[in-house]
Structure 1
Amino acid sequence: MSEYTERARGELIQPIILYVDREEPAGEQHGIAAAALASVQAYLQDPANPDWRVWASEAFGKTVRRADAKMFAKVRAAFPEAVLATVGEGSAVGLPPMPADALPKLLAKLQVSGTALPPGVPLPPAPLSIVLNGSLGMSTGKACAQAAHALFAWLVEAKPAVVEQWVADGFPLGVLDLPAKEFRRGARKAAGPVIRDAGRTEIEPGSTTAYVTLSR
């Protein structure tokens, strides 16, 4: 799966707001997992929303924006339908798709570039993990978007019984950051599509960035 290199006018995009505490930010893996989980939980909350179908048929695009405690609270108050996802220390909210060129002002003014979380303590092993291509040197924000792409791509192609069990288990989720050789080797056994980036930001077009693996 890939993103389009240019956004069409009116193209839908899914906003994901990552909580970044100014004094005690979450570890990077925790934030990445929370952002990815927020993306799919927003869908699972209201899969009948027709915007999801339109969005998935277009660029499958996401915008990961960061917010400190004050702005994060404002977003949650302004969008009560937003799904809050928490993984370990990380928190993020996911919203349904909306036009990329007409985001609400509160969301549009949140920063996209330069999002970075400290390494922190790695997440414990989980039966479902997002694998990231560590050789690309992606920022936290970029990694969040690619992880969300991978998890969503897995979700829509996975067998319903597998997804239902994952939900029933409480959405256990891990994150692995592998060097290029190990990443490519693992991609052969990926549980879902291997994500290829369009190269809009940070990395070269066509770079393979993420996929999902299952350990059971």
Structure 2
Amino acid sequence: MPAVDQLTALLEPMVERHKRLMAGEIEPETDVRAQQLVVRVEKADPPAHTDALTAAARAVVVLLADPRSAEGGEWHDEVHAWMTDRIRKVVRRARGIHWRVAEGLPGVTVRVGTAQVRAFPPSLVTELPKELSRLQVAGIELTDPDAADRDNRIPNVTTPTLWLTPEATMTTGKAMAQVGHASMLLAAYSDRDRLAAWADADFPVLVRAATKPEWAELVTRKDAVAVRDAGFTEVEPGTITVLATW
């Protein structure tokens, strides 16, 4: 199970930091690294909100399972350095020629329904290629035209659910980063057999906005993996933004 071994090795440093964060410990940053996620948003045909979130969550783990992220691969050193510090993500949008240029840079693109999201290897924020740094960050807000139908989809045993909190409002861009964190943590805390089955299926996920009663039940579950936000943007520090469950 090479993908399982690779993911387990890469994610181990992040697990230790996550445990300290959940315990309320905050460590100073050294060099600031971030992973860039770019969503394709064409004016005439923007993607649906849930499709964009689902594609982002999948793209993050697809990149980590890519052979180029493995030890000896061209992305490994940056991925490993990122894992030993805060796991930051920056979500940007692109259209037209800017999307095509972004697709030409090293990374992986995941397509889900109406959405295309490209994940890039993490890097120092001071060394971001200009092709990415010029892409817009703020104001990524999408909608779900068929939201009611999406909420009725039922996960199966190999499809985890990423539950968005009803206690905080997030833009699509912020939520994409949060579900990306959740998919990483889910991979980190899953047992080998479950992780292997998930990898074999190409990391499907179901993203749902939790109702308040659902959230109240979810926060009591010992098997729910929580994303606790540092509070740099949009939400208060310490906010649990996503809970991931099988």
| TM-score of the superposed pair, with normalisation by structure 2 | 0.79
SS at match of 2:39: strand
Q: Which has the larger radius of gyration?
A: 2
Q: Which runs of 5+ in 1 are unaligned?
A: none
The answer as to whether partners of 2:35 and 2:119 remain within 8 angstroms in 1 is yes
Distance 1:58 1:188, change over 3 A: same
- Alpha-carbon offset, residue 128 of structure 1: 1.3
Q: Tell me how far apart the structure 1 counterparts of residues 207 and 239 of structure 2 sit (CA, whole Å).
A: 19
Q: Which has the higher helix share?
A: 2
Kindly indicate whether residue 133 of structure 2 is the aligned counterpart of residue 108 of structure 1.
yes
CA displacement, residues 36-92 of structure 1 (integer Å, 9 cap, x when unaligned): 111111111023213222211211111111111321111011x1x311111221110
The answer as to whether partners of 1:132 and 1:175 remain within 8 angstroms in 2 is yes
Counterpart in 2 of 1:132?
Answer: 164
Q: Tell me how far apart the structure 2 counterparts of residues 66 and 95 of structure 1 sit (CA, whole Å).
A: 13
- Alpha-carbon offset, residue 136 of structure 1: 0.9
Amino acid at match of 1:104: P
- Alpha-carbon offset, residue 6 of structure 1: 10
The answer as to whether partners of 2:54 and 2:207 remain within 8 angstroms in 1 is yes
1:187 to 213, 219, 239: 219
Counterpart in 1 of 2:95?
Answer: 68
Q: Which runs of 5+ in 2 are unaligned?
A: 1-17
- Alpha-carbon offset, residue 184 of structure 1: 3.4
Q: How high is the sequence identity, in percent, across the aligned residues? A: 26
Kindly indicate whether residue 81 of structure 2 is the aligned counterpart of residue 54 of structure 1.
yes
Distance 1:6 1:105, change over 3 A: farther
Distance 1:115 1:72, change over 3 A: same
- Alpha-carbon offset, residue 5 of structure 1: 8.5
Q: Tell me how far apart the structure 1 counterparts of residues 49 and 210 of structure 2 sit (CA, whole Å).
A: 14
Total equivalences in the alignment:
212
Kindly indicate whether residue 240 of structure 2 is the aligned counterpart of residue 208 of structure 1.
yes
The answer as to whether partners of 2:61 and 2:203 remain within 8 angstroms in 1 is no
Further displaced range: 86-95 or 144-153: 86-95
Pairs within 5 Å for 1:1-216: 1=18, 8=29, 10-45=31-66, 46-48=69-71, 49-77=76-104, 79=105, 81-122=106-147, 123=150, 124-126=153-155, 127-189=159-221, 191=223, 193-214=225-246
Further displaced range: 59-68 or 45-54: 45-54
SS at match of 2:184: helix
Amino acid at match of 1:38: A
- Alpha-carbon offset, residue 159 of structure 1: 1.6
Distance 1:76 1:212, change over 3 A: same
- Alpha-carbon offset, residue 23 of structure 1: 1.1
Amino acid at match of 1:112: V
Q: Tell me how far apart the structure 1 counterparts of residues 222 and 132 of structure 2 sit (CA, whole Å).
A: 33
- Alpha-carbon offset, residue 10 of structure 1: 2.8
- Alpha-carbon offset, residue 111 of structure 1: 1.0
